[in-house]
Every structure is written in C-alpha cells, then in structure tokens.
Amino acid sequence: MLNKAVFLDRDGTLNFDTGYIGDADKVELFPDVGKSLAELKNIYHFKLIVISNQSGIARGLITKEQVEQVNDAINEKLKKFDVQIDAFFYCPYHPDFNNPELCKCRKPEIGMITEAVNKFNIDLSKSYFVGDSEVDILAAKNAGLKSILVKTGKGDLSFSILQNDNNFPSFVAENFTEASKLIINDSTGV
C-alpha cells in the first residue's frame, strides 16, 4: 500500500531559524507545530518527513553530529504532542564547497524526496511539501508535489521572489497551523 506524506522544511518552517543551528539546546519550535503535526500524523495518517539543506556542514560552521542532535531535539520536543518525525533527510553539500555531483541532493533538486519516496513507499500525488523558501517550493514542483509556502522564517521574502519569477506555490499560509488546515481540507475534499 502506498503512503501519503507531508514533506517538511526544517529551519523557518518547524522551528525558529537562527542561522546554521548547531546547538540542540537552542531549538525552539514554532508554537503551533507540535499540535498540527500530531493531527496530520495521528488523525490523517500522513508520514512526516523533513527535507533540509544543511550547507553549514560544507561551510565548516556546523557538523553532521550537530545537525543530527538538532533533529533529535525536535523529535524530543514533539514527544509531548505524541508525535514524531518519521525521517530526517538532509544535504550537507553546497556547490561553492563541493563537487556539483555531490550537490544533487540539494533542494530544489529532488534527491532527498526520491530517497524518502523509495524508503516509505510514498504516493506523491497524495502528498505535500511545506516550506518557507523558494527552493522548497521549486523542489515540490520538481517532484510533482502540492506546495505550501509558510510565511514564517523567510516566507515573505520567498513569496516576493517566487512572485517575481511567476512561480507560485499551490497554497500560501501565515503559519504552520494554517498550512496543516490547508492540507487537511485539500486532502479530504472538505
């Protein structure tokens, strides 16, 4: 059986983006994220999969271990909402520091999405991508996913860039709660 998923950007979408987050103790989820993720997963049975560019690793600003500690901290904070992210996929590369071949995992490329689809048997036609940047929206389009731009993080600036490029997301949401409601309404036809 195929699964449906909500692909999620991490920094600026689930948690406050303080720039190359390396300290797990400083992770702060947006107030509405835990409850909304729990509803998407526990009631509507979406897999929750983070797809994140982490070029801070290539830049020497953070380590893979720190990225994974931040990911673990997110799931730890989500425990009180009775929900967990099913998987975290991240690309540690950046074209300024790495061979272009290595960078094929970077959004807006779909390498991480494809890996998740294969691992979790995901039906892209019933899945969504929520993010705060233009690369999230472009990755969603490249993978054939419905996209939701949240205006948290870099969302307002990203919307302007997308608008200038005449490249619009499927939906725009003020915050994660609104994004979650859009997914539920769209997926159930309500």
**Residue 161: per-residue pLDDT:** 83
User: Using CA atoms, how far apart are residues 5 and 121, in angstroms rounded to an integer?
Assistant: 10
pLDDT (tens digit per residue) in 156-186: 888 888 888 888 999 999 999 999 999 999 9
Model confidence at 120: pLDDT above 80: yes
Length of the chain: 190
pLDDT (tens digit per residue) in 125-134: 999 999 999 9
Average pLDDT rounded to a whole number, residues 139-166: 90
The predicted model scores a pTM of 0.96
Q: Is 96 a catalytic residue?
A: no
55: phi then psi, degrees, rounded to nearest 5: -70, -10
Model confidence at 144: pLDDT above 90: yes
**Residue 121: per-residue pLDDT:** 98
Share the mean pLDDT of the chain. Answer: 95
Ordered by start, the domain boundaries in the chain are 42-188
Model confidence at 62: pLDDT above 80: yes
pLDDT (tens digit per residue) in 83-116: 999 999 999 999 999 988 888 999 999 999 999 9
Is 163 in a helix, a strand, or coil? helix
Q: Which of these is catalytic: 11, 86, 132, 136?
A: 11
Is 105 in a helix, a strand, or coil? helix
Distances (CA, A) of 180 to 44, 46, 50, 110, 170: 11, 11, 15, 22, 13
- Return the residue matching tokens 């729990």: 38
- Count of alpha carbons within 13 angstroms of residue 85, beta-carbon side: 25
Closest CA to 129 of 115, 113, 118, 114: 113
Q: How far is CA 87 from the centre of its chain?
A: 11
Q: Is 9 a catalytic residue?
A: yes
What CATH number was assigned to the domain covering residues 42-188? 3.40.50.1000
For residue 27, name the pLDDT band (cuts at 50, 70, 90).
Answer: very high
